[in-house]
Structure 1
Amino acid sequence: MRTGLSALLLLGTWATASTMPASASDAHEGSAEAPASAGLLTAMQHDFGLTKSQAEARLAAEKTATAVERRAKRAAGSSYGGSWFDAGSGRLTVAVTRAASAETVRATGADVRLVKHSAKQLDAAKARLDKLNAPAGVSSWHVDPKANKVVVDVVSARKNDNDVRHFLTRARQAGPVTVRQTSAAPETFAAGTVGGDPFYTGNVRCSIGFSVYGGFVTAGHCDQHTGAVYGWDGSYVGNFQGSSFPDNDYAWVNVGSGWWTVPVVLGWGTVSDQLVRGSAEAPVGASICRSGSTTHWHCGTVLAKNETVNYSQGSVYQLTKTSVCAEPGDSGGSFISGDQAQGVTSGGWGNCSSGGETWYQPVNEILNRYGLTLHTA
Structure 2
Amino acid sequence: MRRTRIMRAALAVLLLLGAGATASTVPATAEEKQPASAGVLTAMQRDFHLTKAEAKARLAAEQRATALEPRARRAAGASFGGSWFDAGTNELTVGVARGASATTLRDVRATGATVRTVAHSARELSAAQGRLDKLSPPDAVSSWHVDHEASTVVVNVVEGKQTDNDVRSFLDRARAAGPITVEQVPAAPTTFAAGTVGGDPFYTGNVRCSIGFSVHGGFVTAGHCRQPSTAVYGWDRSYIGNFQAGTFPGDDYGWVSVGSGWWTVPVVLGWGTVSDQLVRGSRVAPVGSSICRSGSTTHWHCGTVLAMNETVNYSQGAVHQMTKTSVCAEPGDSGGSFISGDQAQGVTSGGWGNCSSGGETWFQPVNEILNRYGLTLHTA
Question: What's the TM-score, normalizing by structure 2?
Answer: 0.94
- List aligned pairs for 1:117-266, cutoff 5 A: 117-266=120-269
* In structure 2, distance between residues paired with 1:272 and 1:18: 15
Equivalent pair of 1:19/1:376 in contact (CA under 8 Å): no
Identity across aligned pairs (percent)?
73
Equivalent pair of 2:156/2:182 in contact (CA under 8 Å): yes
Matched letter for residue 48 of structure 1: F
* In structure 2, distance between residues paired with 1:10 and 1:35: 22
- In structure 2, the residue matched to 1:268 is 271
1:15 Cα deviation from its structure 2 partner: 2.4
1:332 Cα deviation from its structure 2 partner: 0.1
Equivalent pair of 2:308/2:323 in contact (CA under 8 Å): yes
> What secondary structure does 2:107 align onto?
helix
1:39 Cα deviation from its structure 2 partner: 1.2
1:249-307 per-position Cα deviation (integer Å, ceiling 9, x unaligned): 00000000000000000000000000000000000000000000000000000000000
- In structure 1, the residue matched to 2:71 is 71
1:343 Cα deviation from its structure 2 partner: 0.1
Equivalent pair of 2:34/2:60 in contact (CA under 8 Å): no
* In structure 2, distance between residues paired with 1:200 and 1:327: 16
1:99 Cα deviation from its structure 2 partner: 4.6
> What secondary structure does 1:78 align onto?
helix
- List aligned pairs for 1:295-334, cutoff 5 A: 295-334=298-337
The Cα RMSD (Å) is: 1.4
Change (3 A) 1:258 1:16: farther
* In structure 2, distance between residues paired with 1:222 and 1:9: 26
Q: Which runs of 5+ in 2 are unaligned?
A: 19-30
* In structure 1, distance between residues paired with 2:137 and 2:61: 38
1:122-148 per-position Cα deviation (integer Å, ceiling 9, x unaligned): 000000000000000001000000010
1:17 Cα deviation from its structure 2 partner: 8.0
* In structure 2, distance between residues paired with 1:290 and 1:19: 25
Equivalent pair of 1:8/1:273 in contact (CA under 8 Å): no
1:43-79 per-position Cα deviation (integer Å, ceiling 9, x unaligned): 1000000000100000000000001111000000000
> What secondary structure does 1:158 align onto?
coil
Change (3 A) 1:39 1:18: closer
1:107 Cα deviation from its structure 2 partner: 0.5
2:292 aligned with 1:289: yes
> What secondary structure does 1:92 align onto?
strand
Matched letter for residue 127 of structure 2: A
* In structure 2, distance between residues paired with 1:302 and 1:32: 26
1:79-105 per-position Cα deviation (integer Å, ceiling 9, x unaligned): 000000000100010001115221110
Change (3 A) 1:370 1:32: farther
> What secondary structure does 1:95 align onto?
strand
1:107-165 per-position Cα deviation (integer Å, ceiling 9, x unaligned): 10100011121000000000000000000000100000001000000001211110001
* In structure 1, distance between residues paired with 2:347 and 2:17: 22
* In structure 1, distance between residues paired with 2:200 and 2:33: 30
* In structure 1, distance between residues paired with 2:160 and 2:242: 41
Equivalent pair of 1:99/1:114 in contact (CA under 8 Å): no
- Aligned counterpart for 1:351 among listed residues 346, 349, 354: 354
1:32 Cα deviation from its structure 2 partner: 6.2
Equivalent pair of 1:153/1:180 in contact (CA under 8 Å): yes
- In structure 1, the residue matched to 2:21 is none
* In structure 2, distance between residues paired with 1:14 and 1:87: 33
- In structure 1, the residue matched to 2:340 is 337
* In structure 1, distance between residues paired with 2:56 and 2:88: 14
- In structure 2, the residue matched to 1:25 is none
1:201 Cα deviation from its structure 2 partner: 0.5
1:38 Cα deviation from its structure 2 partner: 1.1
Structure number with higher relative contact order (C-alpha < 8 Å, ≥ 6 residues apart): 1
* In structure 1, distance between residues paired with 2:108 and 2:32: 26
2:117 aligned with 1:104: no
- List aligned pairs for 1:32-71, cutoff 5 A: 33-71=33-71
* In structure 1, distance between residues paired with 2:274 and 2:155: 35
